[in-house]
Structure 1
Amino acid sequence: MDLNLLFPGSLVYVPGMMDAPTSSCVLLVEDYKKILIDPGGFASMKVLEDGLTSLGLSPDDITDILLTHFHLDHAFSSVFFSKATIHLHESFSTRDYSSFGPIIGSVYSKIIDSWKSIETFSGGERILGAIDVLSSPYHSRDHVSFFLQTENHGRVFICGDVCARQIHYHEMRKGMRSDPAAAFVLKHFERADAVIFSHDLPLFKR
């Protein structure tokens, strides 16, 4: 399985006007499978399209989409991949999305309605034959991280928002945080050759 970082995530916030973070997006390729992890939000649609086009891929080529959690900055662009199976935590179906407000709540509902095929996980299992789902409900109750072996980058830890930026990892490493989330991140960071942060540049350790 080969890993391609289509784009790194970022954070954009203008008080009172705009809150537009977008997640890192990873493409995994193995034989006929073309897997996106966290395809991103509205703000990253163009770079997502450019990344796929540069690899000679169209939305119809994507077979699977994995979500670390169901927030708009990670999951909105899943609406463009009608042939993909969506993989996410089972608890997504029990959330009251109307509580997010009449507009944002309806966006979540429209995303779910666009999914033609859904497979859920609960955490702790291996999916698609090669990707370990790690329970990490520290950012939201449906949050998971992923760990996998790749041909081009060795062992890869995709941590999601449990460790969104490199500075968060360094705070954990230096003992500035000692909570369960920090222990989780440090454990899996130590066995990884590469780490994909959701809102920062990746860290390749080899």
Structure 2
Amino acid sequence: MTTEYRILTTGYTLSTGPGVAATVSYVTDGERHVIVDPGMVAHRDRILGPLAELGLGPDDITDVVLSHHHPDNTMNVGLFGEARVHDHKAVYRADQWTDRDAEGAELGRGLRLIRTPGHSAEDITLLADTAEGVVAFVGDLWWRPDGPAEDPVAPDHVRLRESRQRVLDAADVIVPGHGPAFPAEQWRGSADL
């Protein structure tokens, strides 16, 4: 496997931190350098500093994946001006807008997008085939390793549960929107999906 990932900054919510910050991840697959959910952080150095430690700058990033369009997950997308930006319905770069459904879209040999609505109608997940198994970058499908079991802002709890189950069927590791990565096994068989 050539696909690797690193969490650049681990996010938090009001109940676990001083405010709200996104978990921002870096994924590499061959020539692809991907940032997932460059959202709210205390300072942009929380994203750019760990990236620099990897020998990369903002212009080295080829792709940005936005799991959904809430500001806490998108606030710093402008740091990566050379990247293609992927969401649920299109790819954006400079002044180009190319429509395409995220479902099944491949960003590299070991990277693909799937639709996982629930927290919002537009949610997508990036699945990465890594040496430790399939890692799912789920945005706010799970905020943290503990859920919440009932997402207080989800417009459709049935779809949320269905999308969570889809991820659990595909993934070994889950990277949530506002917390550290956790093993998918932690939620398999849970009545609290």
TM-score by length of 2: 0.76
Displacement after TM superposition at 1:38 (Å): 0.8
Instruction: Name stretches of at least 5 consecutive residues in structure 1 with no aligned partner.
Output: 14-18, 93-111, 173-177
Corresponding residue of 1:131:
111
Distance 2:166 2:11 in 1: 23
1:89 match: secondary structure? coil
Distance 1:120 1:37 in 2: 20
Name the stretch that deviates more: 65-74 or 115-124: 115-124
Displacement after TM superposition at 1:183 (Å): 3.2
Based on CA coordinates, which of the two structures has the bigger radius of gyration? 1
Determine whether 1:203 maps to 2:187: no
Q: Tell me if structure 2 keeps the 8 A contact 1:28–1:34.
A: yes
1:141 corresponds to which letter in structure 2?
A
1:81 corresponds to which letter in structure 2?
F
Corresponding residue of 2:191:
none
Indicate how the Cα distance of structure 1 residues 150 and 12 shifts in structure 2: closer, same or farther if over 3 A, else same.
same
Instruction: Name stretches of at least 5 consecutive residues in structure 2 with no aligned partner.
Output: 151-156, 186-193
1:47 match: secondary structure? helix
Corresponding residue of 2:30:
31
CA distances 1:160-205 after superposition (whole Å, capped 9, x unpaired): 1122122127x48xxxxx8331232134224422110111111146
Distance 2:96 2:25 in 1: 20
Cα RMSD after superposing both structures: 2.8
Corresponding residue of 2:79:
80
Corresponding residue of 2:130:
150
Corresponding residue of 1:71:
70
CA distances 1:71-95 after superposition (whole Å, capped 9, x unpaired): 2211121111111111112289xxx
Corresponding residue of 1:60:
59
Matched-pair identity in %: 22
